[in-house]
Structure formats: C-alpha cells, structure tokens
Amino acid sequence: MKLSKFFYTTLRETPSDATMPSHIFLMRGGYIKPLSTGIYSYLPMGFRVLKKIENLIREEMNSIDGIEVDLPVVQTAELWGESGRYTAIGEELLRFKDRNNHNMVLAMTHEEAMTDLVRYVVSSYKQLPFMLYQFKTKYRDEARARGGLIRVREFLMKDAYSFHTSQEDLDKHYELEYKAYQNIFRKVGIEPVIVQSDTGIMGGKVAHEFMLDTPNGEDYLILCKHCGYQANREIATFERKPFQGDANAALEKVATPNASTIEDLCKFLNVKGEQTAKCVFFDFNGKLVTCVIPGDLDVSEIKLHNLLKAKELYPAEEALIEKCGMVPGFASPIGAHDTIVIVDQALENAYDLVCGANEKGFHYVHFNPKRDMSGYQIADIAEAEEGCKCPKCGKPLSETRGIELGNIFKLGTKFSESMGATYLTPDGKSEPIIMGCYGIGVGRLMASVVENSHDDFGPIWPKAIAPFQVEIVNITKDNEIADKLEKELTDAGFEVLVDDRDERAGVKFKDADLWGIPLRIALGKKGLANGEVEWKPRAEKEMTMVKLEDVIAKVKEFYKD
C-alpha cells in the first residue's frame, strides 16, 4: 500500500484534552477522531489494528470451542424488564421510544439478548454445555468519558457467554476462559494483573478483572507481594486490628472547638485516626445511611452499594443529617434517629474511641460501640489502602493503579431464572441454565497496548497487531527500487506500507514513529549507492545497514517468531 493512495492524517501538536499517552498518540497518529464526547471514528490505520486484535481474540475463543453469533444493539425495554435491569440500572443505560412509542434501549451489554436467544433453542440437557460469543458495538451513556478510548460511550466489545448444567462444569469452563484471556493479553505484549472484582450490574458471585498495571490507570488495585492476594480496591478485604484502650472508661463529653475534621480532631486531642470513629452519610432513596468507620479509613461506596442493593447512593445533605438528630462535623449515631447505621468490622470489638457528641464544638471520648450504641449492623464497608494488612497472610498490602483489559464472571442463574431459560434434566425436571460471561473491550485493549508499549515519539506496536508489518520510507526521487521491494515483500506475504510522499526525511521518520510499525526500511541515495538500506526495528533506538539482496530473508527472520 502506497501512502499516496492511503487515507490518513497525522497531527504535529498534542490535542488540548489529551493527557494519557494512548490518547495523545492515537490522535496524533491518525488512528481515531472524536465525533462527540466519548464517541470516536476509526481511521484506516486504527481500524487495521482494531481488526487484528479482534481476530486474535477470535482465535482464542474458537480454540475453546466458542461459537460466534451476532445480536442486536437496539433492544426492547420489556426484555430488560425480565431481568430487572431496566429499572435497576441508572442513567448510563440509554432509553428511548421508537416511532410506535415502544420503550427501547441501546444495549450496554448483552446478557438479556443472549439469554433470550438460548431459551429459544435449548430445551434439554443434551444440548449443553456450549459457549457463544460476538463482537458488538455497545453504548453506555458514560458521565465521565476520558482518556480517549479508555473510557468511552460507544465501544466495540467481545462478549462471550457460557451455558451449563452444573456449577462444576461452569468452573471448568471458567478456567479455560481465564487461560484464554492470559493468552490474548500476552500476545499483545501485556502481562496482566488478575484481581478479584465487583460483579456490579452483571450479578453473580465470582468475578475477575484482567488489569494493566500502569500509573495512568483509572482503577486502584490492592496487591500482596508476599502471598499473591490481588483485588480491585473497590472490593478488597483486609485484616482489621480494632483499637482497644481502656474498656472500663465511662463515656465523657469534651470540648473540641474548631475540630470538625478528623485531622483537626487528632491534632487537638493528640490521638491517631484509628482511635476515632467518624461518620460518613449517604442518601438512600430519601433515607439517611450513617456509616461509622475508623477515622483513618474511607468508605467503599461499591461495598455499600452491594450491601444495600442500592441503585443509587448520594452524599447526604446537611439538612437530612440534622433532621435525624446529628450535627455535621461533630456527628455520631449516639442519640440519632430515623437512620440506617452501618458500622465497619474494624469497630466491632473496638473501645475507648473518640466520636462526635452531636453538639457543635464537642466530642465524646471513651466511646464503646457495643456499650453506647444500639440498632446497628456490622459489615465490611471500609476501603482497603496501602499499608493495610493482607487478609490471607497479614503482611502489608501495596497499592497500584491499573486499566481494566477484560473481565470474567460466574453469573450462575441470575438471568436464566428471571428470564425462564431452562432445560430438562434426564429425569424430566426443569432447571435454570447456569451461566458465565466474559468480556473484553477491543478499543480499550488497543489503547492499553499503547499505554504499555510506547516511547516519546509514538506507539511501539507488537508484531501481532501492528497496522502494517513493514514500512518502506523512500527518501530518494526514484521509486523503482521501492516498488520492487514492495512487490517482493507483498509476494512473500507481508503487509507493506510505502511512504512515497515528496516530503522531507524528518517528516517521514516522525510519521513512521507515530505509526509504530515494527520494522522500518529506509531507502537513501548514499546507502543505495553501496547496495544497502537502513534497517530499523521500531523497538530499537539505532538503525543498521543491510544489503539490499538480504532484505527479504532478514524480514522473514524478523517475523519468524
């Protein structure tokens, strides 16, 4: 392919809204173009990479007996109503009416449609197990689109769903998916960090996320370098060591002027955050939820969402807090009313703490939750952070950031029960089909590869997904040798891009860096006079000279692995 016949563009300047390397280089290299916030068009250079990633994933899905299908992105509200998710999911699910005034949705995921398809076909245990997958555009009305392809509204996803007659069979297939995902990410040069994760709107009891460890990640990962425990911070558990001072000290009110924050309170009373019990307030459908946790920890909203099975949670307004008998900045559940009180596990057996006295400028000391409170529940609602103790080995946990590459879930019967996807057992009994689901965002994976593999000048594409395999940069006026070399490489089965523009060498080399093609062969007058070309792998800093007659053999050797 000659560049003069290709549809492309490159940018010299970094777009003002691009901060992550993947966003910068995918824009500057002409891979993508924003059409609206979080909605992107793929130019040919980006489309070629996207399709190669898709084919790589398809190979792995086929290797574990996946069967490809294609389902609609426009679906009926009634279908989503069967699973309960039409009302359970918030504004990120785009709802609309068609011309016949029917309620419709743009699917953000395909559990309902896939379950509907399977219940149409399956009637007997003899038809199970199997796995179906597709590559499909999804739409999520994301409130915080960011990072180019990292967090978008419209996206291409590979989603797979497996169907089983037993938990044991699901467990076996889950392991196959787990290994297939490892293979996919390793083939694009990423060694994934695999963490336990929240099942969220997908449901089910077991889920894992495959993450790229990167400082630009939007997720926080909690890791134990000693025993290998790994989890998304949203759901990570950790070992609590409750503060225990004087068990017999009586509750006492003390003046704490201007100490409305934990930091100010600790300084004023000369205590540590772990010795305090702070309140964090949420509005749950108009009802006040009071979370009580140690002052040195934060509430995990995901854990709280899951505990309450809440569709939406909002920070509570001061008026609602005061209505329930508490004073913001000096609050505690002592004497409060009309509120759901949830106490973190860390305080279950703690005593001799500092907490609010529900009076401005005053706190209680020697607070003992078991003695001084009633009508509360104990739960794991605190968010793990670096330095917390590992729940498995007790050693300090570490924290890093990551980008989610893909996820796998053991759905169980969440969808099959509510939607009537059943099969007849050998003895004629009707049972719900047991399900698993497995997703990879194809565009996000493309961006993650750039995050993982780039230098100051552009992406360094892995050989498996590069837009072209060889770029010939002709910096002479004569195209004869470039044409001959292109034909020989193409005939040998390689994808070749020839930069035949009448441009300065510097411009051509800068664009070559932005396109990240694994191998660049430059034709210059001086080198050709000696029968040589410039040979430069994109991942290497230096170029070498190679005899023209050796180029084809050397390219074959370069791509042998």
Peptide bond into 315 cis (omega under 30): no
Topology of the domain comprising 470-558: Rossmann fold (3.40.50)
Task: Give the separation between CA 336 and CA 284, rounded to whole angstroms.
Answer: 17
What per-residue confidence (pLDDT) applies to 267? 95
Tokens standing for residue 94: 């785009």
Nearest Cα neighbor of 302 from 219, 401, 194, 217 is: 219
Amino acid 144: pLDDT: 86
Q: Rounded to 10 degrees, what is the CA torsion of 301, 306, 312, 317?
A: -50
Scanning 453-500, the segments in alpha helix (DSSP H) are 480-491
User: In terms of DSSP H, where are the helices of 244-382?
Assistant: 262-269, 301-308, 318-323, 369-372
pLDDT at 309: 84
What is the structure's pLDDT at 198?
A: 65
Q: Which residues of the chain are in CATH 3.40.50.800 domains?
A: 470-558
For the chain, give every residue range classified as CATH 3.30.930.10. Answer: 17-71+107-209+403-451
Q: What is the pLDDT of residue 34?
A: 96
Contacts of 390 (CB under 8 A, 6+ apart): 224, 226, 227, 229, 238, 239, 396, 397
The helix-helix angle for 21-28 and 442-452 (nearest 10°) equals 100
- pLDDT digit string (tens) for 300-320? 999 999 899 887 889 999 999
Planar angle of CA 201, 207, 211, nearest 5 degrees: 100
Specify the CATH architecture of the domain 252-383. Alpha-Beta Complex (3.90)
pLDDT at 199: 58
Which helix (H) or strand (E) covers residue 181, if one does?
Answer: helix 167-187
pLDDT below 70 — which residues of the chain? 198-205
Residue 477 is predicted with a pLDDT of: 84
- 17-71+107-209+403-451 is classed in which CATH architecture? 2-Layer Sandwich (3.30)
Model pLDDT, residue 99: 96
Question: How confident is the model at residue 234, as a pLDDT?
Answer: 84
